[in-house]
A and B are shown apart, each in its own frame.
Chain A
Amino acid sequence: MDLRSEQLADGVEKISLVGRMDSLGGHDIDLRFAALVASRKLLAVVDLSEVSFLASIGIRTLVINARAQALRGGGMALANPQPLVAEVLKMAGIDTIIPVYPDVHTACSALMAAAESR
């Protein structure tokens, strides 16, 4: 599994995850993901468009980092999940606690609007 990051706007980071998000994939990215998302306050858009597979261990990674960011006063959103990944997120109710958007641009705008209204 791979991870790429890119600054979209001031305080907004896009994190693109690539590959199978299972136990092995988690080993590949968990430390880098936490270093990017959980170590400082920011608005994080996690692009899931290249995640082909999301297992329960991947849900764990998403929840831990979204929680860490919420505790820092920032925010995290998910963008563009493939159909099976979206269904796993919905089944676990993750889409009700971490917002999911159809694309990165919409996710970025929503996060910025929510931050301005706080």
Chain B
Amino acid sequence: MSSREGGPQASLIVDSELRELSRVSAWVRDWAQHQCLPARVAQNLDLCSTEVVTNIMSHACGTCANGTRRIFLRLGWQGDDVTLDVEDEGSKFDLRQVPEPTPATSVLDARVGGWGIPIVRRFSDGLRYRHEDGRNCLTLLFRATAPP
């Protein structure tokens, strides 16, 4: 596949409300379809965007400065990778620093939550984070070729 650097981008701003989740998912799937992404890449993009946005909606925006409750999303290309940028104005939070959960030995001692970040790690191909101008700026990378 030739590089699509500088290829079509799309952006979306949503309120930090769970009802917006379906709009985020529809936007991601629509863009993936227009870019003719392999089904598996589109699924991973959908899954990871859902987890990241849900995490911000559930935990971050209670602490947003100036009452801001918005999440800024951008999809684009970097070489042959799809990039998803997600920005919010909640407390500084680098999800790369969150430790992996301990595997459960039975359903009785299994944790019931906290699977979102491990899912993002597993189903994306790279994570970048910076805190800039009061914003958490997370970039997820996805190789735009179908895995074997």
- List chain A positions with a Cβ less than 8 A from chain B: 20, 22-24, 27, 53, 55-57, 59-60, 63-64, 66-67, 70-71, 84, 88, 91-94, 96-98
CA distance A55 to B57 in the complex (A): 15
B19 at the interface (CB under 8 A from A): yes
Could you tell me how many residues of chain B have their Cβ less than 8 Å away from some Cβ of chain A?
31
- List chain B positions with a Cβ less than 8 A from chain A: 18-19, 21-22, 25, 40, 43, 46-47, 50-51, 54, 57-58, 103-108, 110-116, 118-119, 122-123
Number of A-B contacts defined by CB within 8 Å: 75
A97 touches which one: B25, B51, B104, B115 (CB < 8 A)? Answer: B104
Flag if B106 contacts A56 (CB, 8 Å): no
Q: Which residues of A contact B105 (CB under 8 A)?
A: 97
Interface of A, helix, strand, loop or mixed by DSSP = helix
| Minimum CB distance partner of A54 in chain B | B47
Q: Which residues of A contact B103 (CB under 8 A)?
A: 93, 96
Flag if A63 contacts B110 (CB, 8 Å): yes
Q: Which residues of B contact A27 (CB under 8 A)?
A: 18
Flag if A91 contacts B119 (CB, 8 Å): yes
B57 to chain A, nearest CB (A): 8
Q: Which residues of B contact A55 (CB under 8 A)?
A: 47, 50-51, 54, 116, 119
